[in-house]
Amino acid sequence: MTRATAQDAVLAALREDILTGVLAPGDQLVQESLAERYGVSRVPLREALKTLESEGQVAYFPHRGYFVAELSLADLREVYRLRGLLEDTALREAVPTLDDADIEEIVRLCDNVVEAATVDDVLAMAEANRRFHFALFDAAGMPRLSRLLRQLWEATDAYRALYYQGSHNRQQVLAEHEQMVHALRARDTALVVALHDEHRAHSVAAVEVMLNPHRPRSRQNAPHHRMELP
């Protein structure tokens, strides 16, 4: 295994462990133990940790080492606000370009999310969900925008893992995807954007409650139902 391949493998393993909660927020990442667990040397492990640090998924403290980043309401709101700006742009560019074959592929990806949710495979559902959304974002033909969105999505894997813990949340994801697919079939760009905004807002509101269950949800942070399917 080359150094680059080892780094990719350990990076994928770390992402999976953070997403599934094996490595929980605040956990210390002891490099000797992780290197043994993943069967790699400390060199590719350090490189993978630096990548995750640049994404905000782990934090490094001098003389203490690496830790899984703590979940923060301020961080959640900032990242999702940035996502909203970029995702709206991507969707407005992408939806008018989609042909029937593109939409059928997106429907297939949507079905993959349903299949994973049916067997309560949170990891597979998260991966299928990402493919579904990025099939839309990438269709905008704006590679820099797609790269920025991937960075933001990777930075919120821990929040997504928390959201997917709730079976109600998983079912809501499926229902909202179905609405978006109907809007895509209708070639209604404005409705796709509005539904996607609500989809994102619902997850933010739910995670806010999970991070701070004793604080009532504010009107400002509650999702706004701007449009509904007929």
CATH number, residue 135: 1.20.120.530
CA distance 91 to 82: 14
User: What confidence score (pLDDT) does residue 4 get?
Assistant: 59
* Rounded (5°) CA angle 97-102-107: 125
Does 130 have pLDDT greater than 50?
Answer: yes
Bridge partners of 61, per DSSP, are 65
CB 137 within 8 A of CB 193: no
User: What confidence score (pLDDT) does residue 65 get?
Assistant: 94
Residue 93: pLDDT band (50, 70, 90) is very high
Give the domain extent around 96. 73-211
41 and 117 belong to one structural domain: no
Give the tens place of pLDDT for each residue, 5-48.
888 899 989 988 887 788 888 999 999 999 999 999 999 999 99
Structure pTM? Answer: 0.78
Give the tens place of pLDDT for each residue, 155-188.
888 788 788 888 899 999 999 999 999 999 999 9
44 and 100 belong to one structural domain: no
User: What confidence score (pLDDT) does residue 6 get?
Assistant: 85
| Residue 176 placed within a domain | yes
Q: Of the candidates 40, 32, 141, 28, which has an alpha carbon nearest to the alpha carbon of residue 89? A: 141
CB 107 within 8 A of CB 178: no
Bridge partners of 28, per DSSP, are 67
End-to-end alpha carbon distance in the chain: 55
Max CA separation in the chain (angstroms):
59
Q: Give me the phi and psi of 72, to 5 degrees please.
A: -135, 135
57 and 161 belong to one structural domain: no
Give the tens place of pLDDT for each residue, 50-85.
999 988 889 999 989 999 988 888 888 999 999 999
User: What confidence score (pLDDT) does residue 107 get?
Assistant: 97
CA distance 197 to 64: 40
Identify the weakest region by mean pLDDT among 76-80, 134-138, 196-200, 221-225.
Answer: 221-225
Q: Give me the phi and psi of 65, to 5 degrees please.
A: 105, -160
14 and 59 belong to one structural domain: yes
Provide the residue type at 54 as one letter: S
Bridge partners of 29, per DSSP, are 66
Number of domains in the chain: 2
CATH number, residue 17: 1.10.10.10
182 and 95 belong to one structural domain: yes
Phi-psi region of 31 (alpha: psi -120 to 50; beta: other; left: phi over 0): alpha
Residue 101's CB: how many other CB atoms inside 10 A?
8
